[in-house]
Structure 1
């Protein structure tokens, strides 16, 4: 694959993961977005100010090019230790009940807060790797990949190009109320959505059969660093405790291709009594 001038979309697949610094930006609708700045280069991404969304698209990016990028990352992912270990764990350990696999009864896969694939900022490669993981879990989890399921996504930063790209995977983008699609027969994928948003907005009174995202806790006191988080602390602790009941967890193995794309994510599945 070439790396023609102005086609920075091809830099990530060809090189090793660069050292990046994370910066949190609060979007105008309340979602917390993690941006990255790369040391040692002029940072055009500093135009992203708090309360604003990044809007500049990667020059020359098309649905076809996004598709090629995805296929390249997917190919690389399947050759990683992360994919081999996670695939094996999904097949052998993510079980519910006696002799039943976690995919039984899953009819919906929900993707929350993954980020934009087309905006010209460092976070887009992280988003692409996470999309690879989302579809990998759908395909590799026992029985989930064996029948047609509904896939939906919600992300404030999605552009029209992102929406068209996701539709090529039969993923429908929703602008609101994705939580109404979460039930006991749902796989929820929410990579790095902050707990004070994830728990009360998307997971309150929900019991998804499979969840991939930040580790769930029964006490978020250490992380209640703002008045808003402190106000939600008690409710979030209650939701966290309820979600942990009857669930088992494995960590997503480290992805050597990208230092920050998946590091810290965990897989939770519901263990049901036979």
Structure 2
């Protein structure tokens, strides 16, 4: 990370507050920082909750998707990768944190994608749990501002504890498996700052993050009213993505296409062993 004479500052990340109306539609208020706290910046309307869904139906969908995932080439590839990359003695992990899963119960086109991503996250847990160092317990967490009450019930049934923002950013450390299917680079930044020591970091791509941060920095350079805070975030994201690439092996997962038209394509970052440094 670049050295600076300024006091280290935790980067600002837009917060999203969700309220549900009587007709099932959700309103999202994104906030921006001011001297007096956060003020509403943008209002977004989310799709309504799918009223046909129940906990039992979500569990059935999860089971069906898991059956397809278990038989996929991508899953076999992931199993082999983890077996090769595991350090002697097992994985040094005590928590697994899933961020930006999306809602499995909102009536929107990507609802099932959230189920697929959860299937992969839970299967990763099943793969690493038998190989934890010192018989550590692996606690599971998920954070997503769009979670509904049904989502929370669904995750609870899978022993996943739902966190409120920004709790996930506060609990991740070098003993965390971090799983981020897709997130704006500025929101992923606090996790990237920790990821340099994370044994397993699953994300879209550090190259994509660097490209997005570089584009944002270019726009700011041509904007006399550009934010110094965002400029700092751009610099931090570029440095953090480089650090992850320097400290981890990068493995692009084969894209998995499923019968319902959805697909998974993630990048797995495994921490380099000490003897490789």
**2:58 pairs with one of 56, 66, 69:** 66
TM-score of the pair, normalised by structure 1:
0.73
Gap change, CA 1:165 and 1:51, over 3 Å in 2: same
Q: Which runs of 5+ in 2 are unaligned?
A: 1-13, 18-24, 30-41, 221-226
1:211 aligned counterpart, secondary structure: strand
1:235 aligns to what? Answer: 236
Contact between 2:214 and 2:234, CA under 8 Å: does it hold in 1?
A: no
Unaligned runs of 5+ in 1: 1-27, 32-44
Query: Contact 1:127–1:261 (CA<8 Å) still a contact in 2?
Result: no
3-state SS of paired residue (1:183): coil
Quickly say closer, same or farther: Cα 1:111–1:185, change in 2 above 3 A. same
After TM superposition, give the deviation of residue 205 of structure 1 in Å: 4.2
Q: Which of 86, 89, 93 is matched with 1:95 structurally?
A: 86
Of residues 65, 71, 78 in structure 2, which corresponds to 1:79? 71
How far apart are the structure 2 equivalents of 1:184 and 1:254? 28
> Where does residue 131 of structure 2 map in the other structure?
143
Deviation at 1:215, TM superposition (A): 1.3
CA distance in structure 1 between the partners assigned to 2:121 and 2:215 by the alignment: 26
In structure 2, the partner of 1:110 is: 97
The structure 2 residue matched to 1:202, chosen from 170, 183, 191, is 191
Deviation of the 1:73 alpha carbon: 0.3
| Aligned twin of 1:214 | 204
Query: More strand by proportion, 1 or 2?
Result: 2
Higher helix proportion: 2
Runs of 4+ in 1 over 6 A off after TM superposition: 47-50
CA distance in 2, matches of 1:132, 1:197: 23
CA distance in structure 1 between the partners assigned to 2:255 and 2:47 by the alignment: 30
Contact preservation (8 Å) 1:246, 1:272 = no
Report whether the alignment pairs 1:175 with 2:164. Answer: yes
Instruction: Give the direction of change, closer, same or farther, for the CA distance of 1:259–1:230 in structure 2 (3 Å limit).
Output: farther
**Residue aligned with 1:87, SS:** helix
SS at match of 2:137: coil
Shift of 1:235: 1.4
Q: Which residue of 1 aligns with 2:180?
A: 190
Q: Distance in 1 between matches of 2:52 and 2:102?
A: 19
TM-score between the two structures when normalised by the length of structure 2? 0.72
In 2, Cα distance between the equivalents of 1:260 and 1:234? 34
1: CA distance, partners of 2:263 / 2:183: 13
Secondary structure at the aligned position of 1:110 is classed as: strand
1:262: which partner in 2?
A: 264
Asked whether the 8 Å contact 1:117–1:162 carries over to 2, the reply is yes
Structure 1 counterpart of 2:15: 29
How far does the alpha carbon of each residue in 1:227-274 deviate from its partner, in whole angstroms, 9 at most, with x for none?
5765621111111122222210111211121665422x1000111314
- Report the secondary structure of 2:205's partner residue: coil
Any conservation in 1 of the 2:142–2:161 contact (CA below 8 Å)?
Answer: yes
